[in-house]
Amino acid sequence: NLQKIIKELLFILTLKYSCYICTVLYITKLMGKIISFANQKGGVGKTSLCAIFANHLTAKGQKVSVKDMDIQMSLSGHREDDLKVDPEAKPSWDVEFVNPMDSKEVAAKLQAWKADDSITLIDAPGSLAFPGLVPILKNADIIVIPMTYDHDVLRSTLGFLKVVLGTLQVKAKLVFLPNRINVSEGTQEELAQQRHNADILKKYGILAPRIKQSVKVKRYSTIYENDTYLEKAVAYAFEPIVELIKK
C-alpha cells in the first residue's frame, strides 16, 4: 500500500512539474513578440483593432504593451479621453507614443521591446514615408493588415505589400483582417469580386474571418475590457493571430 501511495504521489508531482515546464515554455514563446497593425490606406480601423486586440489578449491573462506610432496620436488621445471620463480607472495595458519620424529612436526601442516580458502591439504610422515604419516592419513577428474589399483599399493594400515583401523583404507573418464588412450589401458580381480578391490575399498571408460593420467595434474602450458583444464580434477574427503568437 505504501509503495502504491508513493507511486501515486510521484505521478502527481511529475504531472505538476510537466505542467509547470509547459507553462514556462509557453510564456517564453510569447515574450518579446512584436505585432504591428499596419496599412498605408486610412479608414480601415487600424487603431481601433489594435486597442480591441490589446483588450482581447489581457482578458486572457497576457501582459501587453501598446505603442502609438500614428502621427495623429489617435490611440494616445483616445486613452486620454477615456481617463477624463473615469480618472480612477486602471487600464490593463499601457500606451506609449513613439515618434515615427525618428528611425534611430525606434530601432533602439525595438531592442528593449524584444527583451520585454510582454507582447508589444504597434499602431503603425499610416504611410511608408515615415522613417520609423521601416524598422518596425522589418522587426515585427506578425503584421496585421486591416482592410476592406473596396477597390481602392485593395489596390492600396497590394501596393503596400509590394513594398513590404519586395523592397523591404519583410519576413514577418502577414494576417489580413477584413474589417467593417457590410454583409447585406453587394451585387452578385461584387460578391464574386470579393471572393476573387480574397484568393489574391491568401497568396501572401493568412486571411482572417471578417469583422462585420458594427457600432460596438467603433465604441471601443482603452481602459475597460471588451464587453460580451464586442468580444463576440471580434473573437473569431482574432483566432488566427492568437495561434500565430503561440508558435
Per residue of the chain (247 residues), what is the pLDDT tens digit? 556 665 666 655 555 544 444 443 344 445 579 999 999 988 899 999 999 999 999 999 999 999 999 999 999 999 999 999 999 999 999 999 999 999 889 999 998 999 888 999 999 998 889 999 999 999 999 999 999 988 899 899 999 999 999 999 999 999 999 998 876 767 788 778 888 889 999 999 999 999 998 888 888 999 999 999 999 999 999 999 999 998 8
> Which of 179, 111, 114, 115 lies closest to 144 in space, CA to CA?
179
Q: What are phi and psi of 86, to 5 degrees?
A: -140, 85
Distance CA 143, CA 154 (A): 16
Nine cell digits for residue 138: 522589418
